[in-house]
Structure 1
Amino acid sequence: MSRVVLVLVEAVNDYLPLLEQAGFELIRAPTPASRAEAIAAHGERIDAVLTRGPLGLYAAEIAALPRLKIICVIGAGYEHVDLQAASNRSISVTNGAGANAPTVADHAMALLLALVRSIPQADASVRRGEWLKPMCPTLEGKRLGIVGLGAVGLAIARRAANGFDMSVSYHNRQPRPDVPYTYRASARELAAAVDFLIVAAPGGDATHHLVDHRVLEALGPQGYLINIGRASVVDTAALVAALTEGRIAGAGLDVFDEEPRVPDALKRLSNVVLTPHIAGQSPQAAQDTVQLVVLNLQAFFSGQPLLTPVRLPAPQ
């Protein structure tokens, strides 16, 4: 009997046949309407759910899936998956930690380069026939700070240190003795010590508005912020104010609080570069992400240890 997987994601469609080739039956429901319809029509058959952190899986949905045994999240974040509801039912949860780290790190550096070197503005000036030549900072030898030194943060650090000869500092839940980078005890302390601050932390209560007005003040009027982690890590209102008032030099953002809606206040600013949550997207990343889901599902249903388990709270 094939296992039934409810697929809520929309970004890896070309690689979903990897799941079917592994013997899984897929029910695809990438929109809110189809999601509700699929749960209502097939809830009693569904063994697993494939989702993303922003899409999540909520307690009421988990309750409507009596056969559900495992939730697989693509990407590292799982902020809208109800871990308590999963734990109460002894449902396993996995994530895609590390699967798309190289692609996200590439995009973080691309945003930083585009922002600091004014690439969008220069491109626009050429197209308008203006031939403007702004004087822009260089990246070599600058000080980079990374909030969240997981797989993505480490990939960014390697690119910055080895490719641009930057000094790298980081703030994490705890110091990492296995890295050559400088640990800072708080996000504010980190911001005060760097020229560029890249947010690579997951969402959730523990990181909500970790980068607030105090951190932005510490980053200062010559500092730049990049966020390829989760929008909730940065206080958007404080960021808009800091950008508008020149209290930081600029920001590159791939994530937003209410995607796909982006605040008009951000769109109007000339010192920001905006991309539509594409940092983790590439053919290789999508394939590696789905392949990791396949391996986790195969391990789970054969009684083997999960490759990337998410730690769950104690049942209540």
Structure 2
Amino acid sequence: MPHTLTPPHPTTTRTSATELDRQVRRLYRLAYHANRRRRTLTNPNASAHAVTAAITRLARVLAAAERLLTMPGVAEHEETPYARSFLTAAERQLNAPSTRLLLIADAAHQAAAHADTADNDLHVIVFRDIEQHCRHLVDTAHVEPVLGRRGWPRRDHAASDHLQQQAAQWGLTSHTEHPTMPPHQPTDHPAVPTHLVRQAAERAAARARCAAGIRCTECHRTYGAVQVNLPGTWLCTDCIPTVNARLTARGYAPHVRPIDGGTPQHGPYTVHVWNGSGRGGVSLHCDTPQRAQFLAETERPFNNTGYTIYLADRTRE
């Protein structure tokens, strides 16, 4: 009797199709998750913690997706290519130079903070310069394509290679491999460009000027001014009579005088730096008048930065 093939039972066919759909839905969830993690790696302001978490989880997601693609029917499913596009983009970003630059940028940020604590102005300037250039390259790597170009031009690839070499010379790459360890600052630093040396000298000069205290908001020349009973106003001894005379000439009763207690050497100082030609502002906190004035003169988050110094609990009498 000839052998004949038994047609598959309808229930078995239905179960196989349901299982395939379930696996494809799992693949889609992994693809969307990978896309979210990929976007973290394109954010120029991402911290090292966020970047390392995204790298670790993205690697796991890609491995899980690879296992799903080996299951029967998943790779051939008509909706799989769309999911693959997210996974391919995520894998490309995981291995992109800009991802490594994000880790270097965060290492440089931490190294600059350590150098600032140690009053090492040259290292502060160098590490901030490295961080700024790294984050700028990460930003330009993900802008909308112009005239059909996508990604970095040749000069940006060269700049990326140079930044990674510079980071290795300054001991920042060891931190990118072990983010929990503080960045290493070499005793014998590499050659520093002239413009950075000049900036470091200007920063050191500002530190020396600010050793006397807060600068007078009236004459802008004298340091060591005291807070008066006008919020955010600091006046030297010579300018208090000048301000009162001006108030008298305008018909106001002169009432400007120093606040009792003068300018404490330790207190909750707040330096508010603001954008003089647009929106935005940042508040910085410290505990000495010298540090407050130094922050006011050296922190420049905007092209046209102004500042106001407050003593937090004594802005009004």
> Shorter-chain TM-score category?
under 0.3
Bigger relative CO (Cα 8 Å, ≥ 6 apart): 1
Please identify which structure carries the higher helix content: 2
Normalising to structure 2: TM-score of the pair? Answer: 0.22
**What TM-score do the two structures reach when normalised by structure 1?**
0.22
Structure number having the greater strand percentage? 1
- Bigger-Rg structure (1/2): 2
